[in-house]
Structure 1
Amino acid sequence: MAKNFFSGTSLRLKDGSMVDAGEHLKGKIVVLYFSASWCGPCRQFTPIMKELYQQIAETNQPIEVILLSRDYMRFQLDEYYEQHGCSWGVVPLRDPIIEKCLNAYNVTALPSCRVVDEYGRCIDADARKNVEICNREKRQMSELFAKWRLHTQLQATHI
C-alpha cells in the first residue's frame, strides 16, 4: 500500500484546531489551492474557490480543499483567509509540504490548483482552468467532482 502523501503534515482547520493532514485527508480527493494575499489574480479567484468549497460541503463527497499559501507572514494569511470567508484547511506557512507540492506538481504561477488523491497522485493538473470554466458556464461543480472521482477510481484499479 502506498504511503499517504500528507502524513505527518499539520493542517489548521477553520475552527483553529490542528490535525494531522494524512488522517484528515484519508480517502479524500484533495484540491490543492496555491494562493497568496498579495496576488491580485488570487484575490479574484478565491471567491470562485469559496463557491467550489460551499458546493463541496453540500455534497458530503470525500473532497477537501487545502490552502497552500505563499504569504510571508501569518497575519497576512489569516487576514486574507478571514476577509474572503474561507473555511477550508490551511497548511501552516513554510511547512516543507508546500515546497514539496510546488515542485511535485510543477506550480509556477499563482493562483494554481491541482487535484490529487491522498497518495499525491495527480488527478487534474488543470484544476484552476476547469473550475473557472464551470464557474463561467454556471455549471455545478458536481460535474467536476464526478470526473475527479471517476479518475480516482480508475487509478485505484491500476495500482
Structure 2
Amino acid sequence: MAKNFFSGTSLRLKDGSMVDAGDHLKGKELYQQIAETNQPIEVILLSRDYMRFQLDEYYEKQGCSWGVVPLRDPIIEKCLEKYDVKALPSCRVVDEFGNLLDANARHHVEIYREKCQMTELFDRWRREQMVHRRICA
C-alpha cells in the first residue's frame, strides 16, 4: 500500500495540539456541508506566511477550524510544486497518498455550493479517488 503523503508532517489543530498529519488525515479526503453528511473529509491549511501572527490572524478572521501545517514546514513548498500552485489562495483536493483529485477545487466548490450539491461534488472526488486506487493497485 502507498505511504500517506503527509506522514511525518506536523499539524496544529484548533485546540493548539500537535498531531502527525498522516495519522490525522488517514481515511479523510469541503468541510461543513460534507462533514454533516458524515463523509470522511478533512481540510488543512498550508500557508506561505512568514510570521505566525499573520497566519493566526487569517485563521481567526476566516473562522477556521482546520488543521494547520506549521510555517516553513518543507511539505508546504513540496505541495506548491507538486500541485502546480501559482496563485494564492488556492484549493486542491488530494487523497491521503498525495494523488491530485481536483486541481480546480475552489471553483468547483463555489459552483456546487451555489446549487446545494456538495454531496455530488464529494461523490465526484470519490470516483476520482477510486480511479487512482485502480491505477496504483
Counterpart in the other structure of 1:34: none
Q: Cα distance, 1:73 vs. partner? A: 0.7
Of 71, 82, 97, the match for 1:104: 82
Q: Normalising to structure 1: TM-score of the pair?
A: 0.80
Of 85, 99, 123, the match for 2:101: 123
Q: Cα distance, 1:71 vs. partner? A: 1.4
RCO comparison, higher one (Cα < 8 Å, 6+): 1
Of 42, 61, 67, the match for 2:45: 67
Counterpart in the other structure of 1:149: 126
Q: Cα distance, 1:130 vs. partner? A: 0.7
Query: How far apart, CA to CA, are the structure 1 residues paired with 2:120 and 2:47?
Result: 27
Query: How far apart, CA to CA, are the structure 1 residues paired with 2:35 and 2:12?
Result: 17
Asked whether the 8 Å contact 2:92–2:104 carries over to 1, the reply is yes
Asked whether the 8 Å contact 2:25–2:42 carries over to 1, the reply is yes
Instruction: Kindly report which structure 2 residues correspond to 1:4-83, keeping only aligned pairs within 5 A, or say none.
Output: 4-29=4-29, 52-83=30-61
Q: Cα distance, 1:140 vs. partner? A: 2.9
Query: How far apart, CA to CA, are the structure 1 residues paired with 2:81 and 2:71?
Result: 16
Q: Cα distance, 1:151 vs. partner? A: 1.2
Query: How far apart, CA to CA, are the structure 2 residues paired with 1:77 and 1:23?
Result: 23
Q: Cα distance, 1:86 vs. partner? A: 0.7
Asked whether the 8 Å contact 2:8–2:20 carries over to 1, the reply is yes
Query: How far apart, CA to CA, are the structure 1 residues paired with 2:88 and 2:61?
Result: 19
CA shift digits 1:56-89 (9 cap, x unpaired): 3212211111111121211111111112211011
- How much identity, in percent, do the aligned residues show? 77
Asked whether the 8 Å contact 2:31–2:41 carries over to 1, the reply is no
Query: How far apart, CA to CA, are the structure 1 residues paired with 2:28 and 2:134?
Result: 16
Matched positions, count: 136
Aligned amino acid, residue 146 of structure 1: D
Q: Mark the runs of 5 or more structure 1 residues left unpaired by the alignment.
A: 30-51
Counterpart in the other structure of 1:46: none
The root-mean-square deviation of aligned C-alpha atoms, in Å, is: 1.2
Structure ranking higher in strand proportion: 1
CA shift digits 1:65-115 (9 cap, x unpaired): 111112121111111111221101111111000000000000000111111
Q: Mark the runs of 5 or more structure 2 residues left unpaired by the alignment.
A: none
